[in-house]
A and B are shown apart, each in its own frame.
Chain A
Amino acid sequence: MGIQLKVQALLLIKKWRFLLFLITFPSLVLMLLLPFMSLAITESRIPIAWADQDKTDFSKLVLKRISEHERLKVIPVTEMEGGKMVNTGEVEAAFIIEKGFEKQLKTGEADPVITWLRSDSSGLDGFAKEKIAAEAMRLMMNSKAAEFVEEYNSEFTWDKAFEFADQYWEPEPLFRMDFVWVGEGREAKETTLKPEIKGILSFFLIYAMGVGVALKRQLFADKESGLYQRISQFTGHIHFYDASSVLLHITVSFIVMLPGFVFLLFYYDFSFATYTGFVYKTLIILAGFQLFLLILSKLIHKRRLYFAISFGILCAFFLFVH
């Protein structure tokens, strides 16, 4: 097995220019496409107008937090401008933070303190409303908690208690409900990855799978030249040849994906821990796909038919991922 692996690795290394191209090509494509991709994602965010009439710490904090949301595009405006923008359809909705917003939240009153302007054509603003309401509720609950603590424990000031209560909302609320959607026989947890990262990862994954398909070209060439049969006759069996090629192709596919992972880690400043799960999943998908390709190549002897089926499966996978 080790010798087969060595020989096949040696043969691959001999084609180092081709390998280098395989590895660098997706990174180059990514670098060229990334500005356009980021622009497309920014443009696909839900636009909302934000008119802050309170201009307090609380209202500024809510604005800051919702502006950081990847699915919302917040445009700070005056109340008049907000109304106009809703009418012209420039934004999905306008949210007007009334005077006394902070004061009211601190007292724990839930009377309307945010005015929500929308038109008949608004469709996606409900999502923004939910997010703003959640932020307001967070501030209100923290305020009530701080007020309660300050009243019964003189060691804590209101600010200190507020800060303490707020830490339970980071990185996610303490009693967060984990929504699981079930349908058509599949079950999935809501992931927290940004859409552009998902896009980049799926691009790399499909590319790596495509590389795996293309690398099987050698197997067909070996069959056509009689080398495959000769190795089988010479070594007594073909299992080591098959196992070596699968191992090597998994490795190459994974190496092809590595620049993508490294790039994402640096570019988006994510911790590696966030990606570990994806790295394992990727490895499992690539290994499974290679095994599938091996079985396919054993069943199908015509090179063209093999490639047609493999690329058909890749296209189906691409559609499934998106």
Chain B
Amino acid sequence: MILVDKVSSSIKRKSILKDVSMQIREGDSIGVIGPNGAGKSTLLKVLASVLKPSSGELRFEGKPYSHNLKQVRSQIGYVPQEIALFDELKVKEQIPAWSRLASNKVDTQHVNRMVEILRLNQVMDKRTKDLSGGWKRKLNLCIGLLHEPRICLLDEPTVGIDIAAKVDILEWLQCLHQNGMTLVFISHDWYELKQLCSRMLVLDEGVKVFEGDSKHMDDLLNGEVELSQELTNIIKAGKAVNHKKP
């Protein structure tokens, strides 16, 4: 579906991604993990075509991104980490505005279903800037998936929100994945990643250090892959949290 071939990206002459290669197949659910500044968000931006790679190639359905950018963008749903919404609009104005802006025709039934599952109808009359962090995240997610994309790129969609909202979002994503949507998910939460993702990609200082099944993540800690101390700590902490969970 998407082929990433030795992609590098630099921002202000600083190298963020270094020769990253990977493949995303139809129906995959890939978790991306790594310390802050590892290049996770940059990788997602490159995949979403928001950022152009400085070198390397990206292919969608066998064709280079640059040759069919419009199709790529219509098939990819991107949920950025930041709340990128029209602040001044009410929720009931925000959703129709984005529905009309989408390059694909948006199915009203799909939108209504999403609104219902994410319980957004409770805050329809509120202005976006007046919403709490959790509601903003839900709305952010809803907008990213309005046009029923085949692939969804999620950059920490559950960060800084309460558990109830987190559960809503994760259940919804699981449901979408079961219905065939391909997911690429960034999170620092090991539990979330294990719940949602069947494959893991570990980035450290812009370099891909591990890619494989989530059950093989233990290999990382057995010294088979050389990791930075920070990354080792993150994974250990994540596993420790995981063990404590019921």
Contacts from A to B (Cβ < 8 Å): 3-4, 7, 10-11, 14-15, 225-227, 229-237
Q: Specify which of A10, A14, A15, A230 is in contact with B80 (CB 8 Å cutoff).
A: A230
A230 close to B84 (CB less than 8 A): yes
- Interfacial residues of chain B within 74-121, with CB under 8 A of chain A in the complex: 74, 76, 78, 80, 82-89, 93, 97-98, 100-103
Q: B residues within 8 A CB of A11?
A: 86, 88-89
Given the known interface contacts A3-B101, A229-B80, the answer about A14 and B88 at a Cβ–Cβ threshold of 8 Å is yes
Q: Which of B76, B84, B101 contacts A226 (CB under 8 A)?
A: B84
Q: Can you sample 19 A-B contacts with CB below 8 Å?
A: A3-B97, A7-B86, A7-B100, A10-B89, A10-B93, A10-B97, A11-B86, A14-B88, A14-B89, A15-B88, A226-B80, A227-B84, A227-B85, A233-B50, A234-B102, A234-B103, A235-B103, A236-B73, A236-B74
Interface size, B (range): 20 to 34
Cβ distance B27 to chain A, nearest Cβ, rounded Å: 22
Which residues from chain B contact A233 at a C-beta distance below 8 Å? 48-50, 73, 76, 78
Task: Flag whether B69 is at the interface (Cβ < 8 A).
Answer: yes
- Assess whether B126 is interfacial by the CB under 8 Å rule: no
Q: Name the distance in Å between B217's Cβ and chain A's nearest Cβ.
A: 30
The closest CB in chain A to the CB of B140 belongs to A230
Given contacts A10-B93, A229-B84, contact A235 B102 (CB under 8 A): yes
Contacts of A236 in B (CB 8 A): 69-70, 73-74, 103
Enumerate chain A residues within 8 angstroms of B48, measured Cβ to Cβ: 233
**Which 6 interchain pairs have the tightest Cβ spacing?**
A226-B84, A230-B84, A14-B88, A226-B82, A236-B70, A227-B84
- Inter-chain CA distance A237–B82, complex, in Å, is 20
User: Is the Cβ of B89 less than 8 Å from the Cβ of A225?
Assistant: no
B residues with a Cβ closer than 8 A to A are: 45, 48-50, 69-70, 73-74, 76, 78, 80, 82-89, 93, 97-98, 100-103, 143, 147
Please pick, from A10, A15, A235, the residue contacting B101 in the complex, using a CB distance under 8 A.
A235
CB distance from A92 to the nearest CB of B (A): 60
Residue of A nearest to B93 (CB): A10
In the complex, which residue of chain B has the Cβ closest to the Cβ of A7?
A: B97
A3 touches B103 (CB 8 A): no
Most chain B C-beta atoms within 10 Å of own C-beta, residue among A11, A14, A226 = A226
* A234-B86 contact, Cβ under 8 Å, with A226-B80, A229-B50, A229-B80: no
B153: nearest chain-A partner, CB-CB: A233
* Chain A binding surface SS class: helix
What residues of A have a CB within 8 angstroms of the CB of B147 in the complex? 234
The complex places the Cα of A11 from the Cα of B93 at a distance, in Å, of 11
Q: Given A15-B88, A234-B102, A235-B102, is A225 in contact with B97 using a C-beta cutoff of 8 Å?
A: no
In the docked arrangement, what's the CA distance between A227 and B76, Å?
16
Bound: A230/B103 CA distance, A: 13
A234 lies within 8 A of B88 (CB): no
User: CA–CA, A225 to B82, complex, Å?
Assistant: 7
Contact of A234 with B89 in the complex, beta carbons under 8 Å: no
A232 to B84, CA, bound (A): 12
Say how far B76's CB is from chain A's closest CB, in angstroms. 7
Q: Which residue of A lies closest to B73 (CB)?
A: A236
Q: How far is the CA of A4 from the CA of B100 in the complex (A)?
A: 9
Known: A229-B50, A235-B103, A236-B103. 5 other contacts (CB 8 A): A7-B101, A11-B89, A227-B85, A234-B103, A236-B69
Inside 8 A of B97's CB, which chain A residues have their CB? 3, 7, 10
Contacts of B70 in A (CB 8 A): 236-237
> Contacts A11-B88, A234-B101 given: A225-B93 contact, CB under 8 Å?
no
**Which of chain B's residues have a CB closer than 8 A to the CB of A235?**
73, 101-103
Complex formed: what's the CA distance from A232 to B72 in Å? 12
A3-B101 Cα distance, complex, nearest whole Å: 7
Contact, CB under 8 Å: A234 / B85: no
Tell me the bound Cα distance from A80 to B57 in angstroms.
Answer: 95
Separation in Å of the B56 CB from the closest CB of chain A?
Answer: 19
Residue from A3, A10, A232 within 8 A of B50 (CB atoms) = A232
**Could you say which of A15, A227, A233 has the most chain B C-beta atoms within 10 Å of its C-beta?**
A233
Chain A residues in 8 Å Cβ range of B100:
3, 7
- Give CA–CA (A183, B88) in the complex, Å: 52
Give the docked Cα–Cα distance between A11 and B128 (Å).
12
The residue of chain B having its C-beta at the shortest distance from the C-beta of A230 within the complex is: B84
Q: In the bound complex, how far is the Cα of B191 from the Cα of A208, in angstroms? A: 55
| CB neighbours of A225 from chain B (8 A) | 82-84, 87
Contacts of A3 in B (CB 8 A): 97, 100-101
Question: A203 to nearest B CB, angstroms?
Answer: 31
Q: Which of A11, A229, A231, A237 has the most CB atoms of chain B within a 10 A radius of its CB?
A: A229
Which of B70, B73, B74 has most A Cβ within 10 Å? B73
A15-B88, A227-B85, A236-B74 as given contacts; A4 in contact with B101, CB under 8 Å: yes
A238 CB, nearest partner CB in chain B, Å: 11
